[in-house]
Amino acid sequence: MLYDKHKAEIDAILAKYPSKRSALLPMLYIAQDEYGRLDRDSIGEVAEILDLPPTDVYEVAGFYTLFYNEEVGKIVLDVCDDVPCCFCGAEELVADLENRLGVKAGHTTNDKLFTLRRVKCIAACDQAPVLQANLEFHNKVTPDKVDTLLAELRSEIESGKPISISGRFAEH
Amino acid sequence: MPKTELKEYIVLRNREIPNIRDLDVYVANGGYETARNALTTMTPQAIVDEVKKSGLRGRGGAGFPCGVKWGFVPKELNPKYLVVNADESEPGTFNNHEIIDLNPHQMIEGVVISAFAIGANTAYIYIRGEFAYGARLLEQVINEARERGFVGKNVFGSGFDIDIHVHRGAGAYICGEETALLESLEGKIGQPRLKPPFPAVAGLYAKPTVVNNVETLTNVPRIIAKGADWFRSFGTEKSPGTKAVSISGHVKNPGNYEIPLGITMREFIYDWAGGMRSDVPLKFIIPGGASSTWLTTEHLDTPLTWDDMAAAGTMLGSGAVVILDESVSVVKAALKIDEFFKHESCGKCTPCREGTHFLVKVWERIDEGHGRSGDIELLADVGTQMLGKCFCPLGDSAVSAVNSAIKFFRPEIEAEIAGGTH
Amino acid sequence: MPELVTLTIDGQMVSVPKGTVIVEAARQIQNLIPVFCYHPKLAPVGMCRMCVVKVGTPKVDRATGKPELDANGNPAIAMMPRLQTGCTTPVSEGMVVITADEEVKHAQNGVLEALLTSHPLDCPVCDKGGECPLQNLTMGWGPGKTRFDYNDKVHFEKPIPLGDLIYLDRERCILCARCVRFQDEIAGDPVLGFDNRGRSWQIISKSDPVFDSKFSGNTTDICPVGALTSADFRFKARVWELQPIPTVCNHCPVGCNMTFDMRSNEIKRVMPRENDAVNEIWLCDRGRYAHHFVGSKQRLTTPLIRKNGTLQAATWDEAIELVSRQLDGIRSTAGGKAIGGLAGPSLPNEDLFAFQRFFRETLGSNNLDHRSGTALDLPLDDVGAQFGLTSGTDLLTLGKGTVVLVFGADPEEEAPVHLLRLRGIDTRGGTIITANGRPTKLDQWAKHKLRFRYGSEGALLAGLLKPLVDATPTGGNRAALRGFGELKTALSGITPASVAQSAGVAAETLTAVNELIAGAENLVIFYGRDALAAGPNVTGALANLLVMTRKAGAANSGLIGLIPGANGRGALDMGVRPDRGPGYAAVSQPGLSASQMFEAAQAGRLKALYIAGLDPVGADPATAAALKKVELVVVQELFLTETAKLADVVFPVLSVAEREGTFTNAERRVQRFRQARRSLPSQRPDWQILQSLANQLVAEPVLAAVSGAAERSRKQARREESKVRSRTEWNYASPAEILMDVAGSVAAYKNVSYATLQGADGAWGRQTNENYYFDGTSYENTGGLGTQIPAQVETSATATTLQPFKSGGRVEYADRPFTLVGAPFLYDDSALMNDANLLNNRRAKAQVALHPLDAERLGVQNGDHVTLASGRGTLTLPVYRTRLAAPGVVVVPLGVKGAPLTDIVEGAWTAVSIRRAEG
Ligand SMILES: Cc1cc2nc3c(=O)[nH]c(=O)nc-3n(C[C@H](O)[C@H](O)[C@H](O)COP(=O)(O)O)c2cc1C
Ligand code: SF4
Ligand code: FES
């Protein structure tokens, strides 16, 4: 299923490496987009495509922070709260988002649209407070900009254009 | 205005040439000519020699001479690989980010020349998972270059083949460590490998592999184009060239600056980055990424070179200067930094895996007002039990904040412990 | 001789082979560097950092290249700035190592304290307590107190099952990855891994079924803490109460050394006993967890005699009296030839020897066999004794230069620990070649796989022999080979192409394998059930490979036959067969084989059947008819088997745990097991029953000898009587004395005695005082390492004798296009698996394995029923799609309830048609 649906992309990925296993990270991104998370079935499918023991695939899915084994919202909001961001407005931004979304960081809104997470440095410290929405950067998200940002993201979801929690279509 | 002028940009040429990220613009400004010349008129050894002569040091953190590293690759073992380290995850660092987004072709040209120099026909760019756009952009850039025959089979009719692939990580700081990076590129969890063997001998798929940082390779086309001597006209004897340095925190103009190596920290902060953002005075500097030992106002005259920073007890590291003012609690800062290392500890070795947790727990209780007398000694002692005993440098890095905080701000921590509710 | 390197550890000089790591070098001089992640059987990883030491190397003057000297003229040493891990740092000439100064101690204290920060310290309820490296190291190297807040510990749900056999307690886990590495590096079942990272790192197993490995029990041994414990032993006992009794596993021909760990007459657990020549420190899960048959409530506890049609409890005197009287009657009326004897291949040598002696001497019958007499019986294997692995060969030392051909065998199922040993040979640089009609797990490590079509084994072997024959120069060499001419003739016209054609093996692969075999320094050939079933032509050809490559009798070479049962080789050595006596001695008048006995019984020519340790009726219900025909059926058994149910007299016997004895394994190593458990007074060892009967029956020849005494004086008659009596009377006090008789009658066992088998002081075993990291892994072998007996080629001039061989193709049946094979599976329904409830979910199921392509073609899904039809009968079973069947080959497990293969099989392989079963 996964393979049939994304044959061209998967074949292109496999062609990049002398070893099938190397395709694991990109394959997991595709599976995660397809199924919304990496559960037993999606992991099993990836394992089968790459001829890997399922345990090895689980291991990898568990190690990296951009793979989700729990269901996440349509858009994952990753706010950097690391040094220096935490001293440059990140805490305020997290609090603000928690307020507006009605969930604590680490959780998904009831309408399943947003998952809010605190993350470590995302290499945009000069843009603090900064966040990524489905791995697209949004710089200098001061409190006055939060509303507009959320509205924009909502309309993006509504627009029906393809969404990738794995950041496969990130534009900035 | 800076006292010292940068005569010319070497890596952040996007600051000089608008839209240099477009292939046409890049080519119009001499792009890929250097690669053509190198591949058609120079021997690989001549390139290695020129880079050696330039004294270019690795920009990824360790500052190891690039040409020397290339020289370690055994000639007779094939295939060889060049891997670009674009994992840029050290807190405070974002200069690779800018190169990838705004001057990518120069990096790709660097890859082509460097791959030719070491005899690699395949290069992988390992880019951190969060640079989702960067990864897409690089793929597009490589395709454009491939279409023009700058990348791919028989480039420039030289008979040399070079395939370049982008490989996106998935969120793990440790994958910046070169052997963990290779594991990750092989589809495994990103845990560092035992060394030796070193990647130069047995790296990716157990084949000879050179891992270089984005900025390191972005220097290469300019060095080959203009010569080692020209390159050495920037910077100092032992730290030649420029460095793209990221500055963030409580400065007026945070961002990347390409500086000639050797200017002082004071000049950098006050003349280049506009000084402090408010009247609140500078408290301390994290000068080379979260891994580095802190500096305070008394170190402002330290020149930004590998050796001078080492002499000051810290490091130039990845070129990431974080400026924190008096509003910042030392305990909080140390806690945040150690939380980072705890979060990123891969789990492989005991001192790092358990030690970071231990440190965080103690910082946390001090921060929450439950500090105990003896906690400072405890932190310091656990630090010694970690420092130099971990599998890779990540664990050691977690001790920098501990030692810095205690060394420079012991009274503040003591006061926090004493003032706590216990 | 490997190059030696001399270094100084804590002031003591030691010389070790180049490449040795510091920890190992220190072991040589009893210097204990504490370790957690390091294990001598696994590749070093340097993860736990417990083994850190101070290391220095001699300074060298850059200019002169000469060593620098210090003020006293000694070599100046440059100490490394950081501590080094002793488990990963190789020694170098002149190295100086300090293992115990303040700095090192401080670091070790740190690691231990750190490990304990997440440890629950629940030693009082931990199965590992008492043999726990974490406890040991904490005592020896720990800081004595912790500065970590107990409340800051990370908590996990207490033990979670990893499959049926193993429990994982994540709180106790110290993340050394020994278990994961064992599964990857040794077992080759990568079913364990780690989830998350950093301090949340935890062991997971996501295979289906969970922890899908036949070797999982070993992880509980090498786990240096109580994180992995076995469901079998959990909360059963404290290890210090246990008394380990040395034993040998009786489940398969590997003969793993192990201990029954006893408390108050109960086997609490099974542990491996280190024997590098047999099982290193490993066991398979059947050996470890299928010991429950011993303590089974279903064991027979008293002799039974059929009275009024039902079996009823009787006294021993009654039963012995009855049997001897009846046998006596049959012997005197119909002769010994009217009596048949079957004694199973898992009985010890002593009992098998006694059994054949009883038949040959007392009853005067050669009707002897150790097989069941069903269509599944294998031909008798003689080449395994003639050309067997040369004595002194230790598979653990084989690697580079060794070529192993594994022909018609599935070591994982037939002899599991051999799989690990084969994999080890591969890891050490040896070459594995598999030749099979269907895929096996070992294929993964095979350099070449020769996938032949069942029935074309002869053709394939012709292809392997041909180049060796062609390459033998005319003249001296050829002349020296007996049977060369015949072999050459048999191979005429064979070409790689013709072999490819008939066996279905690619010509290039064949050529590559030919080159490997021809160039092998050591050549070891394993063969298993499929090869044995194909007959002596095939096994003989395997022996010919050795003869033609001059490896017959050569060091580190030879055949290893995986004959079913723990003592299949012993049964052959002891002569429990119709055609040869002990030591393969020819008999003048061969008796009946098992299947001939059943025929004879049906025909009324056989009056009595004596069966020990075999269940022919269980194996093939059709044999019941034969049993019903004979006058007397006597059975010696642990359980009331299907056969025992039909007996006239049933004797309850002792299990391997209740007596002493020896087994001879596939490598012809004779190994001794001890009594671990008291038996009931009403159970007796097999040999003792035979001895009682023999002595009762002695009266008969004695009387015969004395009859006609009228002409002689009474004195003379008494003298003659006592002479006959002393010749025929049995007076074995123990199996040890039977083994002395074996040594007297079987040449290869000449030097085998309980005393020589004891000899534990070989090169094996551990250094003293090493339990700090071996604790709980395996116990020092105090029970003896056994004796590998010589193959016949080593003691006779047969190394140049070729076995008769003919190449042949396979017969095809157009209407029966599929090949059915009955395959052995480790977890079957044999009596030794009784009460092994933990293994129930892993037992082979009564189903037919079909390759997905075939299933596709037949349009059947998992669970659909199909009917297989051969020339003899039909068999209907549910389908199981798997790549473990080759296309065109269907596999049904042997020895599994509900899969009566004997209804349908016709030989080594059976041509069948398959159709969907309706309804
Ligand atoms: C924990 C850790 C993280 C690292 N992260 C990075 C990184 O993100 N980018 C990078 O270029 N080098 C990183 N390094 C350094 C690399 O291991 C390696 O030295 C570097 O890629 C070599 O390239 P260079 O010689 O061009 O600097 C890291 C090292 C460690 C120990
Ligand atoms: S391999 Fe065979 S002999 Fe060894 S433990 Fe397993 S069943 Fe027993
Ligand atoms: S690091 Fe050497 S024993 Fe674990």
Render pLDDT for C850-890 as a digit per residue (tens, 0 to 9).
999 999 999 999 999 999 999 999 999 999 999 889 999 99
C577 C-beta closer than 6 A to ligand 2:
no
**pLDDT score of C703 more than 60:** no
**pLDDT score of C718 more than 80:** no
**pLDDT score of C777 more than 80:** no
Q: What is the pLDDT of residue C707?
A: 56
Give the one of B342, B351, B356 whose C-beta lies nearest to C111's C-beta.
B351
Is the minimum CB–CB distance between B370 and chain C shorter than 8 Å?
no
C interface test, pick of A59, A63, A65, A68 with most C CB neighbours within 10 Å? A59
d(CA B355, CA B344): 13
Q: Determine, yes or no, domain membership for A51.
A: yes
Please provide residue C763's backbone torsions phi and psi, each rounded to the nearest 5 degrees: -80, -5
Q: What is the pLDDT of residue C761?
A: 45
C47 C-beta closer than 6 A to ligand 3:
yes
Find the angle CA(C640)-CA(C642)-CA(C646) to the nearest 5 degrees.
Answer: 90
Strands C874-881 and C848-850, how do they pair?
Answer: parallel
Mean pLDDT of B137-159: 97
Q: Which residue has the higher pLDDT, C893 or C724?
A: C893
Q: What is the pLDDT of residue C1?
A: 65
The maximal CA–CA distance of chain B, rounded, in angstroms, is 74
Share of chain C above pLDDT 90, in %: 85
Give yes or no for a cis peptide into B197 (omega within 30° of 0): yes
Chains touching chain A, criterion 3+ CB pairs below 8 Å: B, C
Q: Are residues A18 and A56 in the same domain?
A: yes
Edge-to-edge strand ranges of the sheet holding C243-248? C243-248, C257-263, C266-272
Q: Determine, yes or no, domain membership for A39.
A: yes
Chain B CB contacts of C106 below 8 Å: 384-385
Q: Please classify residue B62 by burial: count the beta carbons closer than 10 Å to its beta carbon, then call 0-12 exposed, 13-18 middle and 19+ buried.
A: middle
Chain C CB contacts of B384 below 8 Å: 106, 110
Chains touching chain B, criterion 3+ CB pairs below 8 Å: A, C
Q: Determine, yes or no, domain membership for A125.
A: yes
Q: Which ranges in chain B are annotated with CATH 3.10.20.600?
A: 242-323
Please provide residue C211's backbone torsions phi and psi, each rounded to the nearest 5 degrees: 50, 60
Share of chain C above pLDDT 70, in %: 96
Q: Are residues A38 and A104 in the same domain?
A: no
Q: What is the pLDDT of residues C234-266, one digit of tens each?
A: 999 999 999 999 999 999 999 999 999 999 999
Q: What is the pLDDT of residue B133?
A: 98
CATH topology of domain B330-419: de novo design (two linked rop proteins) (1.20.1440)
Test site for ligand 2: of C186, C283, C825, most ligand atoms within 8 A of the Cβ: C283
Query: Closest Cα to residue B192, out of B344, B398, B6, B408?
Result: B344
H/E segment holding residue A41: helix A40-50
Give yes or no for a cis peptide into C161 (omega within 30° of 0): no
C832 C-beta closer than 6 A to ligand 2:
no
C-beta atoms of A83 and B173 within 8 A: no
Instruction: Establish how many alpha carbons lie within 13 A of residue B111's alpha carbon, considering only the half-sphere containing its beta carbon.
Output: 34
CATH topology of domain B23-231: Rossmann fold (3.40.50)
Q: What is the pLDDT of residues A110-135, one digit of tens each?
A: 999 999 999 999 999 999 999 999 99
For residue C272, give the ligand 2 atom closest to its CA: 5
Could you say which residues from 137 to 196 on chain B have a Cβ atom under 8 Å away from some Cβ of chain C? Answer: 172, 189, 194
Q: Determine, yes or no, domain membership for A172.
A: no
Mean pLDDT of C414-421: 98
Q: Are residues A10 and A51 in the same domain?
A: yes
Expressed in angstroms and rounded, the spacing between residue C99 Cα and the centre of ligand 3 is 13
Strands C52-58 and C77-79, how do they pair?
Answer: antiparallel
Chain B CB contacts of A54 below 8 Å: none
Q: What is the pLDDT of residue C768?
A: 46
C-beta atoms of B256 and A126 within 8 A: yes
Please provide residue B106's backbone torsions phi and psi, each rounded to the nearest 5 degrees: -65, -35
Test site for ligand 2: of C274, C284, C826, C827, most ligand atoms within 8 A of the Cβ: C284
> Which residues are paired to C848 by β-bridges?
C879
Test site for ligand 3: of C24, C27, C37, most ligand atoms within 8 A of the Cβ: C37
B422 confidence band (pLDDT: 50, 70, 90): low
d(CA C346, CA C613): 7
Is the minimum CB–CB distance between A163 and chain B shorter than 8 Å?
no
For residue C52, give the ligand 3 atom closest to its CA: 2
Specify the residue for token string 């609140």: B280
Instruction: Establish how many alpha carbons lie within 13 A of residue C879's alpha carbon, considering only the half-sphere containing its beta carbon.
Output: 24
**pLDDT score of C378 more than 70:** yes
Instruction: Establish how many alpha carbons lie within 13 A of residue C333's alpha carbon, considering only the half-sphere containing its beta carbon.
Output: 11
d(CA C857, CA C723): 74
Residue B35 near residue B150 (C-beta atoms within 8 A)? yes
C411 C-beta closer than 6 A to ligand 2:
no
String of DSSP letters for C13-82: EEEEETT-BHHHHHHHTT-----SS--TTS-----S-TTEEEEEEE-B-TTT-PBPB-TTSSBPEEE-SS
CA distances from C381 to C201, C278, C462, C521, C572 (A): 52, 22, 20, 26, 8
Q: Determine, yes or no, domain membership for A95.
A: yes
C51 C-beta closer than 6 A to ligand 3:
yes
Q: Are residues A16 and A87 in the same domain?
A: no
Mean pLDDT of B173-189: 98
What is the distance in angstroms between the CA of the first residue and the CA of the last residue of chain B?
50
Total domains, chain A: 2
Is the minimum CB–CB distance between C195 and chain A shorter than 8 Å?
yes
Q: What is the pLDDT of residues C32-68, one digit of tens each?
A: 899 999 998 999 999 999 999 999 999 998 888 888 9
Q: What is the pLDDT of residues C482-532, one digit of tens each?
A: 999 999 999 999 999 999 999 999 999 999 999 999 999 999 999 999 999
C-beta atoms of A63 and B172 within 8 A: yes
Q: Are residues A86 and A138 in the same domain?
A: yes
Chain B CB contacts of C200 below 8 Å: 347
C710 confidence band (pLDDT: 50, 70, 90): low
Q: What is the pLDDT of residue C150?
A: 84
For residue C87, give the ligand 3 atom closest to its CA: 2
d(CA C437, CA C414): 15
CATH number of the domain enclosing A41: 1.10.10
Residue C270 near residue C230 (C-beta atoms within 8 A)? no
Q: Are residues A29 and A95 in the same domain?
A: no
**pLDDT score of C706 more than 60:** no
- 3-class DSSP state of A68: coil
CB pairs under 8 A between A and B: 157
C-beta atoms of A58 and C206 within 8 A: yes
CATH number of the domain enclosing A143: 3.40.30.10
Is the minimum CB–CB distance between B385 and chain C shorter than 8 Å?
yes
Asked whether the CA dihedral B42, B45, B46, B47 is positive or negative, the reply is positive
Query: Closest Cα to residue C738, out of C796, C682, C687?
Result: C687
Q: Are residues A40 and A91 in the same domain?
A: no
Q: Determine, yes or no, domain membership for A167.
A: no
For residue B214, give the ligand 1 atom closest to its CA: 11
Is the minimum CB–CB distance between A120 and chain B shorter than 8 Å?
yes
Q: What is the pLDDT of residue C714?
A: 72
Mean pLDDT of B361-384: 97
Residue B52: DSSP 8-state: H
A interface test, pick of C170, C189, C195 with most A CB neighbours within 10 Å? C195
The maximal CA–CA distance of chain C, rounded, in angstroms, is 110
Strands A75-80 and A114-119, how do they pair?
Answer: parallel
Q: What is the pLDDT of residue C478?
A: 81
What is the distance in angstroms between the CA of the first residue and the CA of the last residue of chain C?
70
C-beta atoms of B356 and C199 within 8 A: yes
Is the minimum CB–CB distance between B386 and chain C shorter than 8 Å?
yes
d(CA C473, CA C487): 15
Can you state the percent helix, strand and coil of chain C, rounding each to 5? Answer: 35, 20, 45
d(CA B337, CA B358): 13
**pLDDT score of C708 more than 80:** no
Q: What is the pLDDT of residues B327-360, one digit of tens each?
A: 999 999 999 999 999 999 999 999 999 999 999 9
Q: What is the pLDDT of residues C593-632, one digit of tens each?
A: 999 999 999 999 999 999 999 999 999 999 999 999 999 9
Q: What is the pLDDT of residues C438-484, one digit of tens each?
A: 999 999 999 999 999 999 999 999 999 999 999 988 877 788 899 99
Q: Determine, yes or no, domain membership for A166.
A: no
- 3-class DSSP state of C876: strand
Q: Which ranges in chain B are annotated with CATH 1.20.1440.230?
A: 330-419
Expressed in angstroms and rounded, the spacing between residue C540 Cα and the centre of ligand 2 is 27
Q: Please classify residue C726 by burial: count the beta carbons closer than 10 Å to its beta carbon, then call 0-12 exposed, 13-18 middle and 19+ buried.
A: exposed
Q: What is the pLDDT of residue C762?
A: 44
Specify the residue for token string 């990130």: A170
String of DSSP letters for C473-542: PTTHHHHHSBTHHHHHHHTTT--HHHHHHHH---HHHHHHHHHHHHH-SEEEEEE-HHHHHH-HHHHHHH
Q: Are residues A55 and A80 in the same domain?
A: no
Rounded mean pLDDT of chain C? 93
The pTM score is 0.96
Is the minimum CB–CB distance between A24 and chain C shorter than 8 Å?
no
**pLDDT score of C764 more than 50:** no
Q: Are residues A28 and A87 in the same domain?
A: no
Q: Are residues A14 and A58 in the same domain?
A: yes
- 3-class DSSP state of C877: strand
**pLDDT score of C283 more than 80:** yes
C-beta atoms of B189 and C194 within 8 A: yes
Mean pLDDT of B68-94: 97
Chain C nearest-CA distance from B357, in A, is 8
Q: Are residues A35 and A85 in the same domain?
A: no
CB pairs under 8 A between B and C: 94
d(CA B251, CA B272): 10
Q: What is the pLDDT of residue C784?
A: 86
Residue C170 near residue C137 (C-beta atoms within 8 A)? no
Q: By CA distance, what is B187's nearest residue in A?
A: A22
C711 confidence band (pLDDT: 50, 70, 90): low
**pLDDT score of B4 more than 70:** yes
Expressed in angstroms and rounded, the spacing between residue C416 Cα and the centre of ligand 2 is 6
B242-323 maps to which CATH number?
A: 3.10.20.600
Q: What is the pLDDT of residue C62?
A: 87
Strands B163-168 and B320-325, how do they pair?
Answer: unpaired
Q: Are residues A13 and A46 in the same domain?
A: yes
Q: Please classify residue B201 by burial: count the beta carbons closer than 10 Å to its beta carbon, then call 0-12 exposed, 13-18 middle and 19+ buried.
A: middle
Domain that holds residue A137: 75-159
Is the minimum CB–CB distance between A55 and chain B shorter than 8 Å?
no
d(CA B400, CA B405): 8
Q: What is the pLDDT of residues C621-675, one digit of tens each?
A: 999 999 999 999 999 999 999 999 999 999 999 999 999 999 999 999 999 999 9
Q: What is the pLDDT of residue B155?
A: 97
